[in-house]
Amino acid sequence: MYVYRVVKRRQLASAPCIVLLEVEAPAVAAKVEPGQFVIVRMDEQSERIPLTVMDFDREKGTITIVIQDVGYSSAMINSMEEGSHFLDFVGPLGVPSEIENLGTVVCIGGGLGVAPVYPIARALKEAGNKLISVIGARSADILILEEEMAAISDELVIATDDGSKGVKGFVTNGLEQIIAQGTKIDAIWAIGPVVMMRSVANFTRPLGIKTIVSMNPIMVDGTGMCGACRLSVGDETKFACVDGPEFDGHLVDFDLAMKRLSFYKDEEERAKISKDCDCGKGAQ
């Protein structure tokens, strides 16, 4: 039986709580490539959570993930200490990023998206590209992995919604600043909230700049069987877990993706309300 032990824990932000965990998973670390993801389960009572890999070390046999506290299961994972372990750590899943020397590339990470864009950016730099990175957050106190991104980038642009660090505004404002300098961009990778990726794709479409996004819809099994992660890409139905998670941002139907995310969120809220009501009745 595999023991997926947490060997390192690092808190990246406190509110919301964002935690980096380095986990022993030799079989996954031996095969994982940038752009792929894992599905983790803390114990038998926990839900399955898909997480894009932030880093990996083949020699140590470890996988690094970053998770934000957005609900019960993620809060439980974020409370894990060094020495604790996951029951399940499945991967690598999904299609790896296509890494090649394209010239000048821009890697954009918004919010928690900085974590999954990091290994892609590093691989692109190692392939010989000039790497310009744009990372953003609502404010400076929840900006993550700035030092790591700076270390691998030829140029790093920071954007915060409130202007507490770098460009005041969104990552698209940072990208606009780069383009205004006359920089010729050969390709862009953008990872973050769906609304952010849609904004980047809408911005680059008229400019004709190849834009890759990493879609993170609701997933259940991670093998394409459940259909929960289906997307419309270029008028074709795709499944993010087996066909992605990366897709041409100019072909993704973001409006449909956002409607589906909203639907599942509403279902979760209704289930929570129903559960709370049932518990209340039982206590009477």
pLDDT tens-place string over residues 1-19:
567 999 999 988 887 888 9
Please give the pLDDT value at position 275.
Answer: 35
Buried b (16+ CB within 10 A) or exposed e, 246-263: bbebbbbebeebeebbee
pLDDT of 190 reads 94
Task: Tell me the per-residue pLDDT of 165-198, one tens digit each, with 9 for 90 and over.
Answer: 988 999 999 999 999 988 899 999 999 988 899 9
Mean pLDDT computed over every residue of the chain = 84
Q: Which residue has the higher pLDDT, 66 or 265?
A: 66
Region of poorest pLDDT, from 108-122, 125-139, 264-278: 264-278
Note the pLDDT of residue 152: 95
Residue 114 to residues 66, 148, 210, Cα–Cα distance (Å) = 10, 10, 19
**Residue-level pLDDT at 148:** 94
Judged against a pLDDT cut of 80, whether residue 211 lies above it is answered with yes
What's residue 75's pLDDT?
Answer: 82
Most confident region among 70-84, 178-192, 243-257 by mean pLDDT = 178-192
State yes or no: 68 annotated in a binding site: yes
| Model confidence at 72: pLDDT above 70 | yes
Tokens of 271: 């289930």
Q: Is 279 annotated as a binding residue?
A: no
How much of the chain, in percent, has pLDDT values that exceed 90?
48
Q: Flag whether 107 is marked binding.
A: no
- Which amino acid is located at 237 in the chain? T
Considering only 115-124, 175-184, 258-267, which range has the smallest mean pLDDT? Answer: 258-267
Q: Which domains, from first to last, does the chain contain?
A: 4-93 (2.40.30.10), 97-214 (3.40.50.80), 215-272 (no CATH)
What percentage of residues in the chain have a pLDDT greater than 70? 87
Q: Please report which confidence band the pLDDT of residue 252 belongs to, taking 50, 70 and 90 as the band edges.
A: confident
Residue 95, both tokens: 């299609």
- Give per-residue pLDDT as tens, 196-210: 999 999 999 999 999
Specify the pLDDT at position 259: 80
Residue 280 scores a pLDDT above 50? no
Task: Quick: pLDDT tens for 144-163.
Answer: 999 999 999 999 999 998 88
| Residue 107 CB contacts under 8 Å (≥ 6 apart), including other chains | 117, 120, 121, 124, 131, 132, 133, 134, 153, 188, 189
Q: What is the pLDDT of residue 271?
A: 38
Strands (E), 98-241: 104-110, 130-137, 155-160, 167-168, 187-191, 210-214, 230-233, 236-239
Strands in 151-222 per DSSP E = 155-160, 167-168, 187-191, 210-214
Per the CB < 8 A criterion, the answer to whether 54 and 62 are in contact is: no
* Reported pTM: 0.85
